[in-house]
Structure 1
Amino acid sequence: MDFPKKRIVVAMSGGVDSSVTAALLQEQGHEVIGMTMQIWDYSSWAEDNPESCGTCCSPDDVHDARRVAEQLGIPFYVVNFEKDFQQEVIDYFCSEYFAGRTPNPCVLCNQVLKFELLLRRAREIEADCLATGHYARLEPGEGGSVLRKGLDESKDQSYFLFTMTGEQRERVLFPLGAMSKDEVRGHAVRFGLTVAEKAESQDICFVPDGDYVRFLEQERGAGRMDGQIVHRTGKVLGTHRGTYR
């Protein structure tokens, strides 16, 4: 898909998708600028979570994004959203579980960090728009752009983006929305990108081992929160190991 020539910030995660997004837009003649969000204090986080270094948003990912930007010869910046990530995503994640509800932190991360804060940074440097590697599409509709599924339904990510406002949709690009993952991999190989064979990340970035119970207890500084199971008559039926489990 071709776009009018613009100044575009690409949200670079260090993965194949966002790297190919940057390369394709540059190939089309756009002025491309790479930005990566720093959402953790990596110096201490890597020590406490050594298994996380191969997952989304890890120190390795920041390094990979920088290497791709150097390879493409584009400007690259790391923007610090640690405080915002803690307040908007981590605190929400914990509060929802402790309230007996299942959270979706990726939706909130996209809504607040990417399409509010990062888009704001893009506008501060006079970029025309923000591009990401999401598998979703934007099509013209009455009153503005309409969010559509990515053509590769096995990779569709439009459900992460349902909170986007009309104004945000007008300032965002999804260049991969009409492609399959195999096509994207093919472009990565064609461009000779260093991340062409990099594995995909599937886990929640801040719970890389999938043990969200341990994460919740560590984050709230508490051990296991046992409690009673009580019938509405007041009779104690048993005990539980925590309502968040």
Structure 2
Amino acid sequence: MALDSDTKLNSLGFAKPPSETRVVVAMSGGVDSSVVAAKLADEGYDVVGVTLQLYDHGAALAKKGACCAGIDIHDARRVAEEKGFPHYVLDYENIFQDAVIDEFADSYLAGATPVPCIRCNERVKFKDLLETAKDLDADCMATGHYIQRKIGPNGAELHSATDARRDQSYFLFSTTPEQLDFLRFPLGHLPNKDATRALAAEYGLSVADKPDSQDICFVPNGDYASVIEKLRPGAAEPGDIVDHEGNVRGTHNGVIHYTIGQRRGLGIGGLTEPLYVVKLDVDAKQVIVGPKEMLSTRTIPVREINWLGDEPFDSRKEWHVSVKVRSTRPPREAIIRPLGPDTAEVELLTPEEGVSPGQACVFYDSESSRIFGGGWIWRGY
């Protein structure tokens, strides 16, 4: 329906009063999503808070620094009570196990370095939870992610957060155009995290000084190997550490204990130069090591591409963009050559070190803050 030129949109982009606009807020129990819920409630929106229980929160109560744990459910509920809007806890343990944890374990055992937070956003929060929001007759769903949604000439676009240090675009590249129509990210424009905490204090939230979560929620202290051993008992088998010429340089207790680019903890003595993990051969149960220059990669195969450009992905032979191959690295200039509607070869203009299958390759506009989607790196080097 065409809007009259005098029709005013509310802050969430709807041509009606906030009180008539229902918004489901995905509440993790942390500062960010709590501020989003409080802000929208303060502006008069019909707010419904929803928190997901993703795993046994009895065990999670003892784990600090993770999201979606038992204490976080309590904190989210308390914020809802403080601000006077309804709050629901949904049991998503089975969905999370099937959609995220099992794939994480299988990918690791296959020698990849998975990013479960991306799969959680893609398969749980922005899929099942988003559908739940629609079932609740919500007009949109808001989250505390640091990313921006802007309206361009062809509809909603995904853009990086104003604060590059907090930007979460790497973890949200798989957001589809249909999901983007329904999602809102009220914090993406803020200059820094201090501004978020200032808002939390302004709204009098009990979580204003709560520390940020650091680890993957089901991986205590970043110890991936111990989680894999628990999920897949007996799957880690010993084997040899060999150099790039095939010489045995040592032994290992399982490929799952190693990642591409690793230097420390190899247990190889008498080296004249440092050696790094350059490849993991799961079938041969080998950890292959070599000099640092062997980590450099210029060509990256990518699949399961989610494209957010205005033209079809494979309508051109090349796309000149910037890409990220790790969440902690800045975007680098690259050329994407489509091989089909959702597969491509990415050529880095400057080689990157430690590119690993299982990681994401995210596409950025080199001349603006816009994100063109991305895909999954799928073959070892």
Q: 1:161 to 1:233 in 2, by over 3 A?
A: closer
1:92 offset after TM fit, Å? Answer: 1.1
User: 1:29: how far off?
Assistant: 1.6
Stretch moving more, 205-214 or 222-231: 222-231
Give the partner amino acid of 2:130: L
- Distance in 1 of aligned mates of 2:244 and 2:209: 56
Asked if 2 retains the 8 angstrom alpha-carbon contact of 1:22 and 1:32, the reply is yes
Report the CA distance between 1:222 and its aligned residue: 2.7
Structure 1 residue 56, shift from structure 2 partner: 1.1
Q: Does residue 88 of structure 2 align to residue 73 of structure 1?
A: no
Q: Is 1:107 aligned with 2:127? A: no
Instruction: Give deviations 1:109-139, integer Å, cap 9, x for gaps.
Output: 0011110000000001101111000010011
Counterpart position of 1:190: 202
Provide the C-alpha distance between the structure 2 equivalents of 1:111 and 1:19, rounded to a whole number of angstroms. Answer: 21
- State the partner residue of 2:265: none
Q: Which residue of 2 aligns with 1:148?
A: 159
Instruction: Provide Cα deviations, 1:136-185, integer angstroms capped at 9, x if missing partner.
Output: 00111243211100101110111111101101000000000101211111
* Structure 1 residue 202, shift from structure 2 partner: 1.2
Q: How far, CA to CA, are the matches of 2:164 and 2:244 in structure 1?
A: 45
Residues 1:2 and 2:11 are matched in the alignment = yes
For residue 189 of structure 1, what is the amino acid of its counterpart? A
1:27 corresponds to which residue? Answer: 42
- Hey, what does 1:200 align to over in structure 2? 212
1:25 maps to amino acid: L
Mapped pair 1:135 → 2:146: yes
Q: For the residues of structure 1 that align with 2:65 and 2:164, how far apart are their CA atoms?
A: 26
Work out the CA distance in 2 between the residues paired with 1:232 and 1:194.
Answer: 55
Residues of 1 paired with 2:202 and 2:235: CA distance?
51
Q: What is the match of residue 91 of structure 1? A: 102
* Amino acid aligned to 1:194: S
Q: Please tell me whether residue 213 in structure 1 is matched to residue 225 in structure 2.
A: yes
Residues 96 and 124 in structure 2, CA contact (< 8 A), matched pair in contact too: yes
TM-score w.r.t. the length of structure 1 is 0.92
Letter in 2 for 1:38: Q
Say which structure is richer in helix: 1
Q: Matches of 1:176 and 1:126 in 2, distance apart? A: 23
Higher strand share: 2
Q: CA deviation at 1:233?
A: 9.9
* Whole-angstrom CA distance in 2 between matches of 1:66 and 1:127: 19
What residue identity is the alignment partner of 1:16? V
User: What is the total number of aligned residue pairs between the two structures?
Assistant: 241
Alignment match, 1:36: 51
Consecutive unaligned residues of structure 2, counting only runs of 5 or more, are 1-9, 258-381
Partner Cα separation in structure 2 for residue 230 and residue 7 of structure 1: 59
Structure 1, 226-235 or 4-13: larger mean CA deviation: 226-235
**Higher-Rg member (1/2):** 2
The alignment-based identity, stated in percent, is: 49
Q: Which moved more, 1:147-156 or 1:228-237?
A: 228-237
Aligned to 2:298: none
Quote how far apart the aligned CAs of 1:227 are.
2.0
| Distance in 2 (alpha carbons) for counterparts of 1:153 and 1:231 | 38
Matched residues in 2 for 1:111 and 1:97: separation? 19
Q: For residues 241 and 195 of structure 2, what CA distance do their matches in structure 1 show?
A: 52
For 1:139 and 1:117, locate their aligned partners in 2 and report how far apart those are by CA, in whole Å.
24
